[in-house]
Amino acid sequence: MAWYRTERAKFLLMVAVFLFFYFLPFRFSVSNPLTEAVLLLQWYAREHVLLCLVPAFFIAGAIAVFVSQASVLKYFGRKANKILAYGVASVSGTILAVCSCTVLPLFAGIYRRGAGLGPATAFLYSGPAINVLAIIMTARILGWRLGLARALGAVVFSVVVGLLMHLLFLKEETSRENEGDLVLAGEQEKHPLWQTGLQFAALVGILVFANWASPKGNSSGLWLFIFRIKWMLTAGFLVLLLLVLKAWFRKEELAEWVRSAWGFAKQIFPLLFAGVFVAGILLGRPGHEGLIASRLVMFLVGGNSLRANFFASIVGAFMYFATLTEVPILQGLLGSGMGNGPALALLLAGPALSLPSMLVLRSIMGTKKTVVYVTLVVVMATVTGLVFGWLVK
């Protein structure tokens, strides 16, 4: 009973914080880094918590409860087919279309169930980076060269980052996976694969279509059609989920699922809010000033120097980008003199990383692995930007 009261108090506190920022009860007449941080939190609460994070927490909880560790190890562990593991992980973003924060519960779910560090970090990078709609928008608004370079770079990055993480922590990961093999002897799936598959298809469908963004400009075709019926599709997947749960899942399993999802939420949610707040103070909202003036950013990312590409990668890595927002931001920066190389560097580092995501990653896989992962992304984005800037000069 004491545990229940403690968890209920944590839940109510989180809900209260969320509702406070969602229905921010006052307006600001003066813009400064502090007010920008508060307004960025308000925007984050309104645009990402209910439709992005909540479904992601339930997907992560479902992975922890309904997917056996044996299955995760079979497809993503040390003994898994490497081509299959990295192939699936590297293109996952084409299906999920999530941001750097929404992918975190999903990454935590598969990593804690025994997925190898390599495939797991490939998935971690590709989830927010390989977004089909964002790549199409990049090509249409910023030019086909940047669009193509972003698509190819993101796929290659996810595989290379995953392989390097695997090699750099090979001894530690081998020990971890060997222990997993011993623990998992005889573990069975709780449900047939097709039942669990329907459950996850419904959950992913809700996540994808509830967050389907409107195409910019005078777009037409499939993307616009899906946007117009997104809530019908979301409702359809919700009905499918309810039918699946009612037909094949016991109340005890559902209660365990909710507890698992809550475990991810109470670990990740506070860190994300703290990270968004700090990012708002430092960099402000898109189009608004934080402590780091936008004039300085534009001055530092002009041309195609090593400094410009490195600075663009660093800014992209720490700044929070919601899905698709990086395109209009870059459009403005390019118009102010930003080089093509730094633009690509920011596109490759920005959507996949953010200060909030770094704080959460540290709690999931430790400080050392998080620092190495962030460093790999920043360095690779810098080098790729340099090469691209030289090719299109």
136-150, 193-207, 228-242, 368-382: lowest mean pLDDT where? 136-150
The 10s digit of each residue's pLDDT in 259-313 is 888 987 887 788 778 877 877 787 677 667 778 776 776 677 777 888 889 988 9
Closest C-alpha among 106, 107, 110 to residue 55: 106
3-state helix, strand, coil in the chain (%, to 5): 75, 0, 25
**Phi, psi of 221, deg, nearest 5:** 100, -155
Q: Is 16 left (phi over 0), alpha (psi -120 to 50) or beta?
A: alpha
Closest C-alpha among 260, 266, 234 to residue 66: 260
C-alpha to C-alpha distance for 27 and 43, rounded to whole angstroms: 14
6-10, 85-89, 146-150: lowest mean pLDDT where? 85-89
Residues listed for the chain: 393
The 10s digit of each residue's pLDDT in 106-116 is 788 888 777 78
Q: pTM, whole model, 2 decimals?
A: 0.68
